[in-house]
Amino acid sequence: MNILTVVLKFLKNLFSNEKTKETKSVSKNADAKNITGDTKMETKNEGIQILPILEIYNLRKYWNTERQWEGIVVHHSQTKDLQTVDWTEIFKYHTEVNGWQDIGYNFGIEKQDNQYVFCIGRSLNIAGAHTKGYNSSHLGICLVGNYDVAPPSEEQLIMLTDLVIQIQHLTGIKNEAILGHWETYIPRGLAKNQKEAQAIKSCPGLMFSVEEFRKRLEV
Ligand SMILES: [Zn+2]
């Protein structure tokens, strides 16, 4: 490789780096624009609304409801989360196959393009469609992934903790009112204990310890 080739290669790299930087800053500005626009969030992948990650600490800005929520039910989607956008698929399934007016959950956490994002679901003003007997009192959060086969990643758990804590600040929901889907089978009289309940419904996954998750909220 002669010196000219090296210089040309260097300049080419420099140019392509600059170009990437430029694209990044444009999309960053686009995010900023959405953040300032009151309840407007970033929209990508067929109308799916994404809450910019740091905006989780500004959740109050998006909390456009007077509805008194009493608890939260945590779910998993039981789908394989690779690089697909399962949130879109869940939305389509709930609206097109089930014929519901919107996706059943209020929030989701999914890995998209190699990074976890907060997905916005059903309006906070209306009852959800995720847990029999709890839809009008409890918000539904869905972790996209299958935690029957492997536990959720630490990153996803941290995001869930952040989201739940912010919701607690806005609603006063107590730690004991944060439930895994299977736990609702016990008060509903459908199961006597964890084993029986999880045999009917394992959600949010056999490898997801709801008990351990609640402990994260205590600190
Ligand atoms: Zn569930």
The domain 42-216 having CATH identifier 3.90.25.10: the answer here is no
What pLDDT score does 162 carry? 94
Distance from residue 10's CA to the centre of ligand 1 (Å): 53
What pLDDT score does 83 carry? 55
What pLDDT score does 62 carry? 84
Q: What are the domain boundaries of the chain?
A: 1-36, 42-216
Q: What is the pLDDT of residues 141-198, one digit of tens each?
A: 999 999 999 999 999 999 999 999 999 999 999 999 999 999 999 999 999 999 999 9
What pLDDT score does 81 carry? 62
Distance from residue 23's CA to the centre of ligand 1 (Å): 38
Which is nearest to 205 in space by CA: 72, 31, 79? Answer: 79
Distance from residue 76's CA to the centre of ligand 1 (Å): 6
Which is nearest to 173 in space by CA: 208, 138, 201, 142? Answer: 138
Separation between Cα atoms, residue 63 and residue 68, nearest integer Å? 12
Residue ranges of E strands in the chain: 42-44, 48-51, 71-76, 107-112, 115-120, 138-143, 178-180
Q: What is the pLDDT of residues 62-89, one digit of tens each?
A: 888 999 999 999 999 988 765 566 888 8
What pLDDT score does 86 carry? 84
What pLDDT score does 190 carry? 96
Distance from residue 218's CA to the centre of ligand 1 (Å): 23
Query: Above 60 in pLDDT, residue 16?
Result: no
Distance from residue 187's CA to the centre of ligand 1 (Å): 16
Q: What is the pLDDT of residues 18-67, one digit of tens each?
A: 333 333 332 333 332 232 333 345 554 455 678 877 778 888 888 889 99
Query: Which amino acid, residue 180?
Result: G
Structure tokens at 75: 């779910």
Q: What is the pLDDT of residues 93-147, one digit of tens each?
A: 899 999 999 999 999 999 888 888 999 999 999 999 999 999 999 999 999 999 9
Distance from residue 207's CA to the centre of ligand 1 (Å): 14
For residue 101, CA distances in Å to 79, 90, 104, 123 come to: 22, 13, 9, 10
Separation between Cα atoms, residue 14 and residue 141, nearest integer Å? 43
